[in-house]
Amino acid sequence: MSNKQPRISIGLPVYNGENFLQKTLDSILNQTFEDFELIISDNASIDKTEKICREHADKDRRIRYYRNEQNLGASQNFNRVFHLSRGEYFKWAAHDDVLAPTFLEKCIQVLDSDFSIVLCYPKTKVIDRKGDFFDSDELYIKLTNANVRLNTDSPKPSRRFRDVACFPHSCYPIFGVIRKSILKNTPLIARYAGSDRVLLARLSLLGRFYEFPEYLLFLRRHSQQSVNINSRSMHLYNIWHDPVKQGKITFPYWKLFIEYLMAINQVSLNWQEKIACYLQIRHWLPDNWKFLRRDLLVVALQILEKVYSGLNDTKLDWFPQKQLAKFILQISIILYRRLHKEELFLPNISENGLVFGRYPKLGQKNVVNLNNTEQEIIFDVSTKIGNDTYFGS
């Protein structure tokens, strides 16, 4: 490892990345811009990740490899690579994505030439497990491949904030090159689902973004991605970001709403722009009101499940617990159907530490292996109480 300060630090947080890590490392180490350091933080992987990283570190002095004794959760691991960085610029790298050889060169040229730009990212395409271009009707893929045009180069902070915070996109600019002097004044990737989008919103208030008009970043879509957790439940995605949240009541969308307001409140802007930013939230609320309402319904469902489990686990002869448990179950089914009207059958109310296979149980630790999203939760098509069976349809 050289003591010379590199121009850019690349931070690569990883957990069990053996399937794609080799190709990602090769694409980073083969950059035409060579003045960088690569910081790898291994989140206590149990596969061949450590072996792959150490072999590469032995061959290339630009690599600094660190291994956590225990899994810190995604947010802490993402932030650790930043805190270990020394470069003027910083870039997060996913362990499964691929960079074109000129990625760093092109982005750094833009940042060097215009100090009003705080983040530079290229056009992006989705690839599959084999590295072939991937196209489908899935929202994540459509939003990436369509290369949604965000107005992040506007001179007005309120316009930039509106597009990043309120309009749909797959958040891929977070893997661009960022000025470290600007990034260090933010909370980085905080310990809640959607914090990467909030970070982009905060950065948009601090300066302009620039999208380089070439496809230089290729996001790999596969079954082990964290976005698969998000597609099941923002509550599970919350735990992926911060395992401490297991077994606790959370309000993921209310948290996002509050964080956007705090981002505006904490930034130094003239009063006209600050008011304009607050007014932009009106674009966010209509599309997310149903999710704010869902947060409340999920908490009610979690509490009902806690009471239901308690009734089934205790034996009180003088208390009509079986009848009360049935009543609670029926209320839970009504709530669940309001959340997921498209589902005909219901799994068991408590299955593998989850409520109806989707939401974490209160007070339950280590309920599901969130780092292995290929794990299948086995659903029954009925919900049972004692010897009775109540079908979800």
Q: How far apart are the C-alpha atoms of 92 and 84, rounded to whole Å?
A: 12
Number of C-beta neighbours around residue 54 at 10 A: 15
Q: Is there a contact between 198 and 263 (Cβ–Cβ < 8 Å)?
A: yes
Q: End of a domain among 177, 207, 222?
A: 222
Query: Residue 156 — pLDDT band, cuts 50, 70, 90?
Result: very high
- According to the model, what pLDDT value does residue 140 have? 67
Cβ neighbours of residue 141 closer than 8 Å, sequence gap 6 or more: 126, 134, 135, 221
Q: How far apart are the C-alpha atoms of 185 and 195, rounded to whole Å?
A: 15
Residue 115 lies in a domain: yes
- According to the model, what pLDDT value does residue 243 have? 82
Q: Are residues 35 and 138 in the same domain?
A: yes
Average pLDDT (131-149) is 71
Residue bearing the bigger pLDDT, 339 or 18:
18
Q: With 80 as the cut, is the pLDDT of residue 49 above it? A: yes
Query: DSSP of 53-83, one letter per residue?
Result: HHHHHHH-TTEEEEE-SS---HHHHHHHHHH
Domain count, the chain: 2
Please give the single-letter amino acid code of residue 359: Y
Query: Residue 374 — pLDDT band, cuts 50, 70, 90?
Result: very low
Residue 285 lies in a domain: yes
Please give the single-letter amino acid code of residue 13: P
How far is C-alpha 143 from the chain's CA centre? 16
Q: With 60 as the cut, is the pLDDT of residue 276 above it? A: yes
Residue 229 lies in a domain: no
Q: With 60 as the cut, is the pLDDT of residue 388 above it? A: no
Q: Are residues 27 and 139 in the same domain?
A: yes
Residue bearing the bigger pLDDT, 287 or 148:
287
Q: With 70 as the cut, is the pLDDT of residue 238 above it? A: yes
Q: Are residues 134 and 282 in the same domain?
A: no
Residue identified by tokens 């929202």 is 139
Task: Read off the pTM.
Answer: 0.85
Residue 246 lies in a domain: no
Kindly state the percentage of the chain with pLDDT values over 70: 83
Q: Are residues 256 and 218 in the same domain?
A: no
Query: Residue 371 — pLDDT band, cuts 50, 70, 90?
Result: very low
Closest residue by Cα to residue 173 from 117, 254, 248? 117
- According to the model, what pLDDT value does residue 147 have? 64
Average pLDDT (104-129) is 95
Average pLDDT (356-375) is 61
Q: With 50 as the cut, is the pLDDT of residue 229 above it? A: yes
Q: Of the given ranges (69-73, 179-183, 220-224, 240-244), which has the lowest mean pLDDT? A: 220-224
Across the beta sheet with 98-99, the strand order is: 63-67, 36-42, 8-14, 89-92, 177-179, 117-127, 208-220, 98-99
Residue 353 lies in a domain: yes
Average pLDDT (199-203) is 97
Q: With 50 as the cut, is the pLDDT of residue 340 above it? A: yes
Q: Of the given ranges (111-115, 212-216, 319-323), which has the lowest mean pLDDT? A: 319-323
Q: Is there a contact between 32 and 216 (Cβ–Cβ < 8 Å)?
A: no
Residue 242 lies in a domain: no
Q: Are residues 218 and 265 in the same domain?
A: no
- According to the model, what pLDDT value does residue 381 have? 26
Average pLDDT (153-167) is 94
Residue 323 lies in a domain: yes
Query: Residue 205 — pLDDT band, cuts 50, 70, 90?
Result: very high
Q: Of the given ranges (103-112, 198-207, 327-336), which has the lowest mean pLDDT? A: 327-336
- According to the model, what pLDDT value does residue 171 have? 87
Kindly state the percentage of the chain with pLDDT values over 90: 56
Burial 325-364, CB ≥16 within 10 A → b, else e: bbebbeebbebbeebeeebeebbbbbbbebbbbbbbbbeb
Q: Are residues 171 and 267 in the same domain?
A: no
Q: How far apart are the C-alpha atoms of 381 and 393, rounded to whole Å?
A: 9
Residue identified by tokens 């610029």 is 89
Please give the single-letter amino acid code of residue 262: M
- According to the model, what pLDDT value does residue 196 have? 94
Q: End of a domain among 204, 222, 240?
A: 222
CATH classification at residue 142? 3.90.550.10
Average pLDDT (326-334) is 85
Q: With 60 as the cut, is the pLDDT of residue 380 above it? A: no
Q: Are residues 59 and 172 in the same domain?
A: yes
Q: Is there a contact between 204 and 280 (Cβ–Cβ < 8 Å)?
A: no
Q: Are residues 321 and 194 in the same domain?
A: no
Query: Residue 370 — pLDDT band, cuts 50, 70, 90?
Result: very low
- The mean pLDDT value of the chain amounts to 85
Q: Are residues 25 and 152 in the same domain?
A: yes
Q: Are residues 183 and 145 in the same domain?
A: yes
Cβ neighbours of residue 283 closer than 8 Å, sequence gap 6 or more: 162, 166, 167
Query: Residue 349 — pLDDT band, cuts 50, 70, 90?
Result: confident
Residue 283 lies in a domain: yes
Q: Are residues 311 and 170 in the same domain?
A: no
Q: How far apart are the C-alpha atoms of 150 and 159, rounded to whole Å?
A: 10
Average pLDDT (341-366) is 73
Query: Residue 359 — pLDDT band, cuts 50, 70, 90?
Result: confident
Q: What's the domain range around 300?
A: 252-391
Q: Are residues 60 and 151 in the same domain?
A: yes
Closest residue by Cα to residue 383 from 316, 301, 317? 301
Q: State the Cα angle at 43 between 364 and 55, rounded to 5°.
A: 155
Reduced to 3 states, what is the DSSP secondary structure of residue 393?
Answer: coil
